[in-house]
Amino acid sequence: MTANTGRYQRAILKISGESFSKPGQFGIDPDELNIIATEICEAARAGTQIAVVVGGGNIIRGAVLADEGQVDQAIADYMGMLGTVINGIALREAIEHLGHDCRLMSAIDIPAVAEPFIRARALRHFEQGRVLVLAAGTGNPFFTTDTCAALRGAELNASVLLKATKVDGIYTADPNKDATATKYDRLTFSEAIERQLGVMDLTALSMCMERDLPVLVFDFKTRGNIGRVMAGDVIGTLVTR
């Protein structure tokens, strides 16, 4: 089912670190980076104010280090935040290279490469037509970048949180493992939490539910999908109150 809810005025786009690399690989692949930047620029030029929250799993997976017991989880989380900064720098440069004004804002203080995240300054950047890239999560350990996306969505009065994934929505089970899995077109936050569908972590989902911030989960690898979801097409799964 494809519906249209009207163009979103302001959106938070959550992109995983793995989106920056080829499947099964680490690091930043130039082709993947260009695809992401091009899609974001096209959507921004169509009129949506966009803040992109980037993950860092293609650089380092702090949770794996913590699970192995080699690094304390708090420290591993900070390492992961630095990974998101690397991706953020790359994405900012790629967007600027394509001719669209962009600012990188970090939740941890790294003045040599990024501005600090300050809400009033972020809103001013929106007024100036700039794309925002938000790195370093919330700046605190034990919080995921999904939670960061929900938090920034609430702070910046976003119309929607768009979660870019490698599948085309939320399913009853993992479609790669269960051939009988079916896709949901729409869900409520309560249903997503009760059924433990793994949409986002519970902190992020609860925050979105409390703030009445819709979440749209979609496959961003299909050319033009970012622009379509910004335009209001429900091409994945929409989660609402």
Question: Sheet containing 49-54: which strands, arranged edge to edge?
Answer: 115-116, 102-106, 131-135, 49-54, 10-15, 160-165, 215-219, 237-240, 186-188
> Distance between CA atoms of 141 and 147, rounded to whole angstroms?
11
pLDDT tens digit sequence for 182-237: 999 999 999 999 988 888 889 999 999 999 999 999 988 788 888 888 888 878 99
- Report whether pLDDT(238) > 90: yes
Q: Please tell me the pTM assigned to this model.
A: 0.92
H or E segment and range at residue 137: none
pLDDT tens digit sequence for 200-211: 889 999 999 999
Phi first, then psi: give them for residue 230, nearest 5 degrees: -65, -35
Residues 6+ apart with CB under 8 A from 47: 7
| Superfamily of structural domain 3-240 | Acetylglutamate kinase-like (3.40.1160.10)
Judge whether 39 and 224 are in contact, CB under 8 Å.
yes
Tell me how crowded residue 156 is: count the other CB atoms within 10 A of its CB.
Answer: 18
Q: What is the pLDDT of residue 165?
A: 86
pLDDT tens digit sequence for 167-176: 889 999 888 7
Token pair of 81 as six digits: 């935040």
Q: What's the chain's average pLDDT? A: 92
Could you give the C-alpha distances from 146 to 6, 12, 136, in angstroms and in order? 24, 11, 12
Ordered by start, the domain boundaries in the chain are 3-240
Token pair of 199 as six digits: 């949409």
